[in-house]
Amino acid sequence: YRLMPRRSAGDGSPRRAELREAAGIYKTLTEIYIVSTENARTLYATLGNLNLAEAAGLSPELASAYADMSAVCPLLNLHSLAEKYRSMAAQAAQALGMEPVTAYVRMATSVFTVGQGRWEESADSLDRAIAAFRQLGDWNRLGLTLVLRTHVHIFKGEFEAFQAVHREIADLAERSGSFQHMVWARDGEAESMLRLAGADRLQDVVARLQQNLAAMDRAGFELEQAHVHSLLVQAHLRRGDWAAAR
């Protein structure tokens, strides 16, 4: 992502503050592009964030930039590089000793470890991050971390635990008033029914998923829409409705 080693600005340098602010702007762009599933722009913004954060030197922005790189590198099949950035993020967070930064690093680097199937390591990091975000009152990142925790449960076939965490997300949605949290909670409720309920409840599952899809269509959540469509296919297939599944 760069041709020459970058020299960081000194702690007291006015440029350091400017670099940190600019890195934060690129990080915001990264989060926007992730939600809109624009992978090329996500990579561009993440690299821009990293370049600026490294120029600024050790800072919360640098730790989060390393963590974000660990999550983005697997998109390019760069798994060894993702592991390197995961380690660098953890080292930077430890050097800073700031709980919000440590919690974010644990959450963001878990995107990589969950994808690697490192269940116990991921669960430990996510549980610690969840506890920290609860204490900090950071509802946005708490919601993201709870969703990642459900991924560990579903991949391990722990459907009751998957359902329980989505109930926590539903409680969070009531407190935060976040539409995104509400969507996650509703999808989780429907998916829990799909995994745990009998055939007599499948029509209810389909109805709930269709309601969620309509709500998300108005909000324009493409990633969540794709997930709901995949759940609808599974529900229709379990009902033996091949035409609807197509």
Q: What is the pLDDT of residues 204-225, one digit of tens each?
A: 889 988 988 888 876 667 778 8
pLDDT tens for residues 63-87?
999 999 999 999 889 999 999 999 9
Confidence band of 140 (pLDDT split at 50, 70, 90)? very high
Q: Which helix (H) or strand (E) covers residue 89, if one does?
A: helix 79-96
Looking at residue 92, its amino acid is A
Give yes or no for residue 8 having a pLDDT over 60: no
Residues 6+ away with beta carbon under 8 Å from 147: 169, 184
Q: Rounded distance, CA 68 to CA 164, Å?
A: 28
Residue 22 CA to residue 79 CA, distance in Å, equals 27
Residue 160, both tokens: 């009751």
Q: Are 169 and 154 in contact (CB under 8 A)?
A: no
The answer to whether 87 and 105 are in contact (CB under 8 A) is no
CA dihedral 92, 97, 99, 105 (to 10 degrees): 10
> pLDDT confidence of 153, banded at 50, 70, 90?
very high
Residue with tokens 């999550």: 71
User: Cα(106)–Cα(90) distance, rounded to whole angstroms?
Assistant: 8
**Predicted structure pTM score:** 0.89
Nearest to 187 by CA among 216, 218, 222: 216
pLDDT of residue 200: 86
Per-residue confidence band for 9, with pLDDT thresholds at 50, 70 and 90: low
Which residue did the predictor score with more confidence, 123 or 10?
Answer: 123
Closest CA to 115 of 82, 145, 141: 82
